[in-house]
Amino acid sequence: MTDGAGAATPHADDPGGVGQRRSVLTAPGLQTVAEDGVLAFNAANGNLISFTDIDAGSTLLTLSFQAEHGTVYYDGQSIALGVEIRGTAAALNILLSKLTFRPDADFTGDATVTVTVNDQGIRLAAR
């Protein structure tokens, strides 16, 4: 769910309980990649995906991906869709900085990558 400017907003099921600060997931807007090309999400390209959670500390969070019409990669290795990766916010942000997307062979059209972060209190998803 994005706010139209590319910044993700929490789901409506966000409990927002006392002492629970909202996580913020930042994702780029619409991206373009050539047929059979690779799209790298990083600061150098101006399309880094990242999140902040000021009250997560060293809590283990989960990160998962979904992709339509392509494959998500971390540092050259494909990530199984729907698998949850656990780590601290710092570790997961490092993973996100090395994220790439490769569309299916010979695919043209719209493809979607969904990144979901769960801090065990608030779940965020960005497309």
**How confident is the model at residue 35, as a pLDDT?**
93
Q: Which of 109, 105, 125, 106 is nearest to 117 (CA)?
A: 125
pLDDT tens, position by position, 71-99:
999 988 999 877 899 999 999 999 999 99
Average pLDDT over residues 92-113: 94
Q: Which of 108, 92, 109, 97 is nearest to 45 (CA)?
A: 97
pLDDT tens, position by position, 14-65:
444 445 566 788 999 999 999 999 999 999 999 999 998 887 778 888 999 9
Specify the pTM: 0.75
CA distance 70 to 74: 14
In the CATH hierarchy, which fold is given to the domain comprising 37-51+59-126?
Immunoglobulin-like (2.60.40)
DSSP string, 67-118: EESEEEEETTEE--TTPPEEE-HHHHHHHHTTEEEEEPTT--S--EEEEEEE
CB-count exposure of residue 26 (10 Å: 0-12, 13-18, 19+) = middle
Full strand arrangement of the beta sheet holding 39-41:
39-41, 99-103, 70-74, 77-78
